[in-house]
Chain A
Amino acid sequence: MTEPPDKLRQLLDAAGVARCLDEIAAAMDARWKGEEKIALVGVYRRGVPFARALAERLRARGREVDFGKIDITQYRDDLQTMTVLPKLEGSELGFDLDDAVVILCDEVIYTARTSRAALDELLDFGRPRCVQFAVLVDRAGRELPLQPDYAGIRVDLTPNERVSVRFADGDGRDEVFVRPWPQKTT
């Protein structure tokens, strides 16, 4: 279902998303200068196209990049309270994680509970040399002490707003917008 346009507030258009991706890829390239290879791991769902877009940019810079995805559903801390269960997508890391430089990629960080689950899961695959974290949108409101190493934009929203990210790879267009999000009444 598409939201009525007047309820949506655009934070980034396609050009804005592209600019953020370019900046993040450049920052990763500079940070890991001299490193033979880095690995990008997208957190399912939209962390995957985000990671893929960054991998393309890094490869265009001549850098070798491993790529993987993780589905954190089995590591969620709210499974017992969910009224609808998601189908598991499964995780795929087609490279050896031991001693790798890994950058976890997700489209948004907010409470950091997803990031915590992603980190827990990643470490069950092996022992990377280093793990960093990249997001397109860093939203204020952490419930856990985790911070991204790379972020496209930073925003502070009210609890009844939600950040939605679309990627051309899967959604048809690159865009970031804010939409109303009904809060549970207690």
Chain B
Amino acid sequence: MSITPRKDLLDIASLTNEEIEFVLANAVPFKDLFKRSVKKVPTLKGQTVLTLFYEPSTRTRSSFEVAANRLSADVTHFDIESSSVVKGESVLDTVETLESMRVDYIVVRHKQSGTPSLIAKNTRASVINAGDGWHAHPTQALLDAFTLREKFKDMRGARVLIVGDIQHSRVARSTSLIFRRLGMNVSYLAPGSMMPRETPEEVKLFGNWADALEWKPDVVYLLRVQSERMDEPFFPSAAEYHKNYGLTDARVQILRERGLWLMHPGPVNRGVEITDQGMNYEKSLINQQVENGIAVRMSVLYWLKPGAV
């Protein structure tokens, strides 16, 4: 299978099934590379990848940087904290500066939905959305799908229960979409205040663990509870959230008895969405998600091409 390169990766919704398949399939040989003594290929030699993070994120940013380094790209971080942005420079002024630097790839995270798309329209560089507001986090979705593909020979019909703040989660939005595109059944477990108002008809909604487990999921995907939400009236307290929606030790035991896979996009809030015992659960895929994130991001960088349509 061969495919036409795309300029930007902004969300999952705009990808064709062939493009999803292409990125996931190519991530396999990129992951094989990690076993070699030289974990590097010259694919992006001479290209510059710039990380532009308006929101802090050590993990995602590092993952992109390692991915770009392993493709032999030159990687630069645009330091928002010490840049003119704090002096009031607009996003488009920053993009103009980056255009003058002739960077080839811009990896953007922004709290405002749509900012990566705005940047993409104003630069020749390939733009990768590394998370924008509540909107999308496409590389997280691709790495989640890749991780489950390593466990399920046929993903069609497999059941994933996504637990937590669905309403405010770009991860839930993108990951739920890619799982459904790949033929999986998806359900949500969330407090009423965190359940989206509108959900696709095929997504089952649950308000408590007992009902959700009755649905017989194969995978439990915990979302991170955003710390800023803890001061908002979405749930009474972290302890209350943990009791009702977290993966308590007793629930870990149920997962163990049923042999369910466990996922989390990280970083975890221990004692809120998951316990220490949950972190040590033998069928947790959290570390694989991190490793696969590099391979999938390499695959995305291989596919995108600056200046393409």
Question: What are the residues of chain B within 8 A of A186 when measuring CB–CB?
Answer: none
Q: Does A84 contact B3, Cβ atoms closer than 8 Å? A: yes
Would you list which residues of chain A between 121 and 165 have a CB under 8 Å from chain B? 121, 124-126
In the complex, chain B residues whose CB is within 8 Å of the CB of A75:
41-43
B38 near A124 with CB under 8 A, answer yes
* Chain B hits for A82, CB < 8 A: 5
**B214: shortest Cβ distance to chain A, in Å?**
41
A71 touches B29 (CB 8 A): yes
A84-B3, A85-B302 as given contacts; A120 in contact with B42, CB under 8 Å: yes
Give the docked Cα–Cα distance between A60 and B269 (Å): 62
A90 part of interface (Cβ distance < 8 Å): yes
In the complex, the chain A residue whose C-beta lies closest to that of B42 is A75
Which A residues lie within 8 Å of B29 (CB)?
71, 74, 88-91
**Given known contacts A85-B3, A87-B1, A88-B30, is B305 in contact with A80 (CB within 8 Å)?**
yes
**Is B202 an interface residue, CB under 8 A from the partner?**
no
Q: Which residues of chain B from 20 to 53 have any CB-CB distance to chain A below 8 Å in the complex? A: 22, 25-26, 28-30, 32, 36-38, 40-43, 47
**Number of A-B pairs whose CB atoms are under 8 Å?**
56
Of B26, B40, B42, the residue contacting A88 (CB under 8 A) is B26
Binary CB contact string for chain B from 1 to 17 against chain A (1 if under 8 A, 0 otherwise): 11111000000000000
Contact of A172 with B by CB under 8 A: no
**From residue 237 to 295 of chain B, which have CB atoms closer than 8 A to chain A?**
none
Q: Does B78 contact A (CB under 8 A)?
A: no
Q: Are B4 and A84 in contact (CB under 8 A)?
A: yes
Sample (17) of A-B pairs whose CB atoms are under 8 Å apart: A71-B29, A74-B29, A74-B41, A74-B302, A79-B43, A80-B305, A84-B2, A84-B3, A87-B1, A87-B3, A88-B29, A88-B302, A90-B28, A90-B29, A121-B41, A124-B38, A125-B36
- 8 closest Cβ pairs, A-B complex: A90-B29, A74-B41, A124-B38, A88-B29, A87-B1, A88-B26, A74-B43, A86-B2
Give 10 new A-B contacts, CB below 8 A, not counting A80-B47, A83-B4, A90-B32: A74-B29, A74-B41, A85-B5, A85-B302, A87-B22, A88-B30, A88-B302, A91-B32, A121-B41, A126-B37
